[in-house]
Structure 1
Amino acid sequence: MEYRTLGKSGIKVSEIGFGAWAIGGDAWGPVDDQQSIQAMNHALELGVNFFDTADVYGNGHSETLISQIIKGKRDRIILSTKGGLMGHSRKPEPIYDQPEKVIQAFEDSLKRLQTDYIDVYFCHIWWHVEQETEAFLEAFDKLKRDGKVRAVGVSTDDFEYLKTFNRHKSIDVLQIDYSILNRAAEKEILPYCQEENIGVVVRGPLQKGLLTGKFTKATTFTGNDVRQYWDRKWFEEQVEKAGKLKSLEREDRTLGQLALQFVLSHSAVSTAIPGAKTAKQVTENVGASTRPLLTEGELAYINEISPVW
């Protein structure tokens, strides 16, 4: 496993992390808690030290599961969680409009995680409402002063919102959707993060499974799987692109590993956090942390199939 520095925070993180949305059990189809725990323990064995979750994942269930694997190992783990979406109706009124409400959400996460500090705490509200932005910024200052948080950030794909959130130059980390199939961040956001020395945590590096190559145009999603709401025409177009990218697979590199190496090839990126429900999926994800990453020829071919838009 290779490690990188998380921006100005100075925190060293594994370049492949563990995204814990799926194990919450409320958005990605069936999940088995024991398998989830085994997957996380296996990730630790393979050198993964960055675990990312949120209070809203499974209504706290993801955080509760993570608490079971950090006991006795807290000093080995860089723990990241997010707050702001729990109970949020978005409209018409802001919910987290006072720093005390943000701090209460943070304290609730601490209880579920059974720890007394968080390494990286994110605002999970990705749209801008002035009262909530200010509340988070004030709460972040207090949590840092009190030694309960080492680094703070925001999870958003909106460049203007990121700049607004960072108007006091106080943001350490950004979490953003970035992949071969979604390269919008390359235009403005990633260069800005490099200029500001903001660490970048990449969510969606496998584009919700599309870049594993396991889907066909006939694939359907049911139950509580968030992918059932995808636009069908868009989905079929992405499946077609993934099919073309399969020509870059090798005996020692799957399409999913190629997709992870693509995001790691950008110098602004600190870590990628693909989701995993099983130890087997963890092994494949971690297998992307090898050198060399992608060649200039491979990057040029990717640019032909899925250019920046």
Structure 2
Amino acid sequence: MKKVQLGKSPLMVTPLGLGCMSLGTDKRKAQAIIETALEEGINYFDTADLYDFGLNEQLVGEALKRVREDVVIATKVGNRWTEGKEGWRWDPSKAYIKEAVKQSLKRLSVEYIDLYQLHGGTLEDNILETIDAFEELKQEGFIKAYGISSIRPNVIREYVKHASIDSVMMQYSLLDRRPEEEVLPLLAENNISVVTRGPLAKGLLSENWIDKLSEQGYLDYSETELRALLTELKAKFTETRHLQEAAIQYNLAHKGVTSIIAGASSMEQVKENVAAVRAEPLSKSELTFMEQLAKMNKYEAHR
């Protein structure tokens, strides 16, 4: 699988990364999924200190120990578990970030983290202080690059303006086109990589879409609208592509999208995601069809 530069950093990542949140807590199963990803050529693994109270980082670190220098390990910080671990609170302070990174390094059993990401962010944060923490960690050699995981355009703009971030992770799919007009051009212009998550829109953009429909719909789509759209989309690609393939290629067709982080709870899912990434890119007519079919959503609440 080819590798692409992440922002302006020295990191080279595959266009598909493994989202490790869905690995579960069974060590043997997690190891098997990660091994499958490695065999398929994936070099990019994304976790967070929040997942399973840090156990996810530990499992990822153990599974990747033998190939440490060949992979890109990304984790996140900012959500702080309460003392009783019944919930968490937001803490983007410099003091917390610089302490939390030590715990992540320990759990991952690594001397440095390739990509350290702020796991959220609001305009009420002391953003300059947060940036200072990441810059110091970079200078001290604890991280190679840093970014944010956010879908808030106003927050993203602040980090683009004041920080040397190399990536922004955000939700993006054919059913969630909110980044297209407001965020993707900004990040591409500043050579900041977009790492997308949720390309299958909770399974709606897969062959099993009919089982994923609910009365709640999805974002600003009603159930009726989704049924009509997905029926037409399925008909279009019946003889040429699986819906999952079309959905993933839709993400990769847009300028600035460097990699897709896709979760997998089985080895089969890893292989399906890899096959979708390796498929032929969307033709101009296929892309136009999809864009004309789906709404151009806009960010409203997330600011």
TM bucket (normalised to shorter chain) is 0.7 to 0.9
Written as runs of structure 1 = structure 2, the 5 A alignment for 1:245-284 is: 245-249=233-237, 253-284=241-272
Deviations 1:246-296 (A, max 9, x none): 224356732112111110111211100111011100001001233530011
Written as runs of structure 1 = structure 2, the 5 A alignment for 1:229-308 is: 234=222, 237-249=225-237, 253-290=241-278, 292-308=280-296
What runs of 5+ residues in structure 2 fail to find an aligned partner? 83-88, 298-303
Q: 2:79 touches 2:91 (CA, 8 Å); kept in 1?
A: no
* Mapped pair 1:129 → 2:94: no
Q: 1:17 touches 1:273 (CA, 8 Å); kept in 2?
A: yes
Distance, in Å, in 2 between the alignment partners of 1:218 and 1:254 is: 16
Question: RMSD value over aligned CA atoms?
Answer: 2.7
Residue aligning to 1:78:
72
- 1 or 2 for the larger relative contact order (CA 8 Å, sep ≥6)? 1
Q: Sequence identity of aligned pairs in percent?
A: 33
CA gap of 1:4–1:252, structure 2 versus 1, over 3 A, is farther
- Give the 3-state SS of the residue equivalent to 1:210 in structure 2: coil
Residue aligning to 1:116:
111
What runs of 5+ residues in structure 1 fail to find an aligned partner? 26-31, 89-93, 221-227
* Mapped pair 1:155 → 2:149: yes
CA gap of 1:291–1:130, structure 2 versus 1, over 3 A, is same
Distance, in Å, in 2 between the alignment partners of 1:3 and 1:269 is: 13
Q: Specify which of 140, 147, 153 is matched with residue 146 of structure 1.
A: 140
Distance, in Å, in 1 between the alignment partners of 2:20 and 2:226 is: 24
Q: Specify which of 94, 98, 102 is matched with residue 93 of structure 2.
A: 98
Normalised TM-score (structure 1): 0.86
Residue aligning to 2:35:
41
Normalised TM-score (structure 2): 0.87
Q: Specify which of 167, 192, 197 is matched with residue 203 of structure 1.
A: 197
Q: 1:96 touches 1:135 (CA, 8 Å); kept in 2?
A: no
CA gap of 1:129–1:242, structure 2 versus 1, over 3 A, is same
Q: 1:177 touches 1:204 (CA, 8 Å); kept in 2?
A: yes
Distance, in Å, in 2 between the alignment partners of 1:292 and 1:39 is: 25
CA gap of 1:213–1:277, structure 2 versus 1, over 3 A, is same
Deviations 1:91-112 (A, max 9, x none): xxx7525312111111111111
